[in-house]
Amino acid sequence: MISVIEKSKCCGCNACGDICPQNSITFKTDIEGFWYPEVNMDTCVNCGLCEKVCPQLHVDQLKKNDYQKPIHTIAAIHKNMRIRWNSTSGGAYTALADVMLESGGYVSGAVYNEGFTGVHNYVTNNPEEMDKLRSSKYLQSNAEGLYRTIKQLLAKGEKVLACGTPCQMAALRSFLNKDYENLIIVDFICRGVNSPKVYRAYLDSLEKKYGSKVVYVKAKNKELGWRNLTRKVTFENGESYYGVFMEDDFRRGYHTNVFCRPSCYNCQFKGFPRISDITIADYWGIEKIDKNLDSNVGTSMILLNSKKGNDYFQLVKDCLDYRETAFETIFAGNPALTKPIGPAKVDREALFEDLDSHDFDYITQKYFPLRKANLQKVTIKDRVKSVFRLCKSFLDNIVDFIKHPASVIATYQINHRKNTELLGGKIRIEPNVTLDIHPSAKIRVESSVDFGRTEIKGFYTPTCLKMTAGTELVFHDGPITRYGNHTYPLRHGACIEIINNGKLTIGQGACNVNLTIMCAKEIKIGNGVRIGRNVSIRDFNGDHVIINDTYVNSAPIVIEDRCWLCTGCSIMPGVTIGTGSVVAANAVVTKSVPPHSLVAGSPAKVIKENIEWY
């Protein structure tokens, strides 16, 4: 009979409970929130099936496949952007599952329990349930009943695509004890599974801070970009929390290996051959291989491990943009493919004892507080690179002065003038930029800007900035956007005039070439705003007027966060562009635009509502 002497040798797959003919095995959750089998000796008949099905006891027999290593390595993105947006990576799981569902088959995956108390494995043939199956949950899922259900479906001749952690899928192979032609097994590159108990404590702390119950969780939300690893939690009161990478307490605990299952630190299901037909994961490093498959919205890695997996991919590939890549390219960005996580550097026993008597914030501060080192681990290699960058920057400045002395002098002058205030950033003036700035005009730089930037070596379209007396220009910093916080690229060809005591504020974002801004009142451009080529923004029409009841000659403009102004559009006086909206190419906006709307035409009209864009 199964007996857990060392917790590090039990992966919690639940297969022993499913195979027991007497239902003698139940699962007891320990102080860490992980479950382990317990045998009722009064009903156990000592048949030994629980030991025979345990994947931990039969790793060598289970780790076999048609190929020693994947026959094909694929980088892929789903052609449906909404699916890709809502997926953990590039939408590979949805592509695989949809083909199975369309053929009348069943799929399995992990879904949240009601109230987000945990996660359990779920089997369905209903396409409408894909939304709750899609996306990784990053905590251990309860698989009780999964193996029985799948075996019963297969015995009836039903087709099944099963997806789970490598240890769960190894347990499924062991449970079935034979291969089924009507079964596709999919696993993913698993770093480790976290404690459901800790996760619920984390959500409890957020509910306390926001004064409202959690109604939605996305472990890898992409509003701030795929690479930012942002957890989004939405509450009943409509507010949302965005936890970015290591600033998020739960992710920091996970990535410092604090509360994964004990068996994860000695995982037996790494490397090759893979036990599954297909392995999916994030394709970290895709930007170095094929930029056409990377827009920071997520790219999937797909490993085809068996003949059956390769054949199944042929049925799926039409809904993907994909290319085959070199097998060797997958390792740098996915160390969890071949090796387990390192041991926790905290006293786990004390941590979980504290969790029983304190809240999540307490254990966060005591065991894994946010430190600068958490945000970016600095290695010796990083330090060498930093020194190299400083040296290169120094030499570049010398070369710039030799090649473009006027721009170097202009950069110094604008940053050191009396009414320029540098608050965390500075202005770089590129060649062929004309500055006409009154001494009383105020410039405040909270975030750096590259004025007149070009992407074409040696090509600088004339660019200008005019500021009359009493005007103000602000480049402000703000919360991180999907593009990160970086130097604002104000591309060449821009013509910006601030007159009549006007004030122009520009947040984090970017603009393309030939931007025209006429500011005589006030123009506010929020964070995450992307401005296309030849865009015109003006809150003032000059001294000429049209005599009618509705004409507005001068009025403030507000462009709220995360808007996209496409090529050639014009934003006229008095307009507010609502958060998350898109103005189509060549549109003329004369009236305010509601949030999350797409407007087009002249004059611009709403043609689509409730949009999302990246």
163/182 Cα distance (integer angstroms): 14
DSSP states along 536-594: EEESB--S----SSS--SB--EEE-TT-EE-TT-EE-TT-EE-TT-EE-TT-EE-S-B-
301/74 Cα distance (integer angstroms): 6
Q: Locate 426 and state its tokens.
A: 């500075």
Q: Is the dihedral of CA 594, 595, 596, 602 positive or negative?
A: positive
Nearest of 514, 476, 484 to residue 496 by alpha carbon? 514
Nearest of 309, 353, 46, 367 to residue 169 by alpha carbon? 309
List, in order, residues 6 or more apart from 393 with CB less than 8 Å away.
none
Q: Within a 10 A sphere around the Cβ of 546, how many other Cβ atoms?
A: 9
- Backbone dihedral region for residue 471 (phi beyond 0: left; psi -120 to 50: alpha; all else: beta): beta
3-state secondary structure of 128: helix
DSSP states along 380-402: HHHHHHHHHHHHHHHHHHHHHHH
List, in order, residues 6 or more apart from 389 with CB less than 8 Å away.
none
Please provide the distance, in angstroms rounded to a whole number, between the alpha carbons at the two ends of the chain. 54
For 9-37, give one letter per residue: b (16+ CB within 10 A) or e.
Answer: ebbbbbbbbbbbeeebbeeeeeebbbbeb
Torsion angles phi and psi, residue 503, rounded to 5: -135, 125
Element (H, E) at 607: strand 605-608
Q: Locate 393 and state its tokens.
A: 């920057």
List, in order, residues 6 or more apart from 592 with CB less than 8 Å away.
574, 575, 576, 577, 578
Q: Would you please indicate which residues are annotated as catalytic (active-site) residues?
A: 544
